[in-house]
Amino acid sequence: MPRPIRATLKASALRHNLKLARETAGEAKVWAVVKANAYGHGLERAARALADADGYALLDFQEAARLRLAGVTKPILMLEGFFRPLDVNLLFKYGLTPVIHNAEQVELIKHMDLPSELDLYLKVNSGMNRLGFGVDDLRPAYNTLRLHPRVGSITLMTHFADAEGPGGVHDQLRWFNELVHAFEAPRSVANSAALLRFKETREGWVRPGIMLYGCSPFADWSAEEIGLLPAMTLSSELIGVQNLAPGERVGYGFTFEAKEPMTIGIVACGYADGYPRHAGTGTPVLVAGKRTRIVGRVAMDMLCVDISDIEEAYIGTAVTLWGEGLPADEVAAAAGTVSYELLCALAPRVPVHEET
Ligand SMILES: *Cc1c(COP(=O)(O)O)cnc(C)c1O
């Protein structure tokens, strides 16, 4: 028998969340963002469940090839364009739409005899200062590409730095609009947070990611309140039980000490499964469906939970690390990170159980 840990991935939740994204997007078309192995959910599996999207967005050429091999015929947006000149051949081989975000890429396309028409996205730096063209170089880049006889549609896109936070999208969107108002081109600006909270971003093509997987980008608006369903549940079982006397300690570094008699359960799940090692004492967890807390340090293959008040808990009792009944967003917050990181980190050694 394998270790009792497993990840349950629910296609019905992905479908539900995509439907909600679609309804929110109104007339806009939807790229389902499936980068990083569909946020840890398995690329082909997620793509199948998200088949109602208008296209898929990712950034790895191998992942793009996998989608084509799986029979995907919809558009695929390459969020970081291409990395080396030879990659341009792959754009045609697999029929991909690149995001052009630097001058080298423009130069390369300019001097290339493209084998057929190429639609592309042109990335505008509206303040995040990672990728894209700004006030000085946007127009020349656009004109160069526009003059190429084989370049088809050019969509102007940007990405928000703080759509989920206090900054919102206002300043970046205003700057983007100033930069692009003179261009007759379709647009793409919204990630999940912008799509959900700012209706002025629901235009052209929206690019939801995290919401499709049932997590919230916001600290102050939960996935449940939004109406999202968790697509990934990480669960395991107790494989040991210990009774502690006051003063006894637990785990590596002896970071937790019992103040009174208590019972702890040992869970078959550790950081080598993708559980965050930074999740300290107090991080929420479900044992036999009841909410309790992690105690001590997360190890490679195990972690410890307080089961003093869960009388039925014993070896073999079910544990939910995150997912149904316990939002990954809450576990992430307790571990000082975001649900994105938890989902993406699900380790290949964790057996996956698919539900339709
Ligand atoms: C990852 C990504 C998204 C999706 O972001 P979420 O916050 O997961 O919705 C959208 N656009 C770009 C450019 C991205 O890299």
Read off the pLDDT of residues 259-270 as tens digits, 9 standing for 90 and up.
999 999 999 999
The answer to whether residues 16 and 131 belong to one domain is yes
Residue 226 inside a domain? The answer is no
pLDDT score of 2: 83
Distance CA 212, CA 32 (A): 8
Distance CA 43, CA 9 (A): 12
Read off the pLDDT of residues 14-54 as tens digits, 9 standing for 90 and up.
999 999 999 999 999 999 999 999 999 999 999 999 999 99
> Considering the chain, what is the average pLDDT of its residues?
96
Q: Identify the domain boundary among 214, 241, 270.
A: 214
CA–centroid distance, 92 to ligand 1, in Å, is 24
Radius of gyration over alpha carbons of the chain, in Å? 23
Q: Ligand 1 within 6 A of 191 CB?
A: yes
Q: Quick one: tokens of 103?
A: 């001058």
CA–centroid distance, 45 to ligand 1, in Å, is 19
The answer to whether residues 186 and 240 belong to one domain is no
Residue 188 inside a domain? The answer is yes
pLDDT above 80: residue 7: yes
pLDDT above 80: residue 57: yes
35 is catalytic: yes
Residue 220 inside a domain? The answer is no
The answer to whether residues 197 and 239 belong to one domain is no
When divided into structural domains, the chain yields a total of 2
Distance CA 138, CA 46 (A): 35
Residue 326 inside a domain? The answer is yes
In sequence order, the 6+-apart residues with CB closer than 8 A to the CB of 35 are 57, 58, 59, 60, 63, 79, 209
The answer to whether residues 149 and 113 belong to one domain is yes
Q: Return the best residue to mutate from 101, 189, 191 for the ligand 1 pocket (most ligand atoms within 8 A of CB).
A: 191
Read off the pLDDT of residues 170-184 as tens digits, 9 standing for 90 and up.
999 999 999 999 998
| 61, 142, 226, 313, 330 from 282: Cα distances, Å | 40, 52, 26, 18, 11
Distance CA 64, CA 297 (A): 38
The answer to whether residues 303 and 346 belong to one domain is yes
**Number of residues in the chain:** 356
- For residue 44, the domain's CATH number is 3.20.20.10
Q: Ligand 1 within 6 A of 192 CB?
A: yes
CB 223 within 8 A of CB 16: no
Cα dihedral sign, 175-178-183-185: positive
The answer to whether residues 93 and 237 belong to one domain is no
Question: What atom in ligand 1 is closest to the CA of residue 192?
Answer: 9
Distance CA 54, CA 31 (A): 6
Residue 47 inside a domain? The answer is yes
- For residue 302, the domain's CATH number is 2.40.37.10
CA–centroid distance, 73 to ligand 1, in Å, is 22
pLDDT above 90: residue 1: no
The answer to whether residues 284 and 204 belong to one domain is no
The answer to whether residues 118 and 256 belong to one domain is no
The answer to whether residues 277 and 152 belong to one domain is no
CA 70 to chain centre: 21
The answer to whether residues 177 and 236 belong to one domain is no
Question: What atom in ligand 1 is closest to the CA of residue 99?
Answer: 13
Q: Ligand 1 within 6 A of 101 CB?
A: no
Determine which residue's CA is closest to atom 4 belonging to ligand 1. Answer: 209
Closest CA to 53 of 28, 70, 71, 36: 28
- Select which of 19, 93, 110, 252 is catalytic: 252
Q: Is the pTM of this model over 0.85?
A: yes
Question: How much helix, strand and coil, in percent to the nearest 5, is found in the chain?
Answer: 30, 25, 45
- Select which of 10, 29, 35, 93 is catalytic: 35
Cα dihedral sign, 290-296-301-302: negative
Sheet holding 118-123, edge to edge: 187-188, 151-157, 118-123, 96-100, 76-78, 55-58, 29-33, 205-206
The answer to whether residues 201 and 237 belong to one domain is no
CA–centroid distance, 210 to ligand 1, in Å, is 8
199 is catalytic: no
The answer to whether residues 130 and 46 belong to one domain is yes
CA–centroid distance, 43 to ligand 1, in Å, is 16
Distance CA 22, CA 227 (A): 13
Range of 252's domain?
232-355
Residue type, 332: A
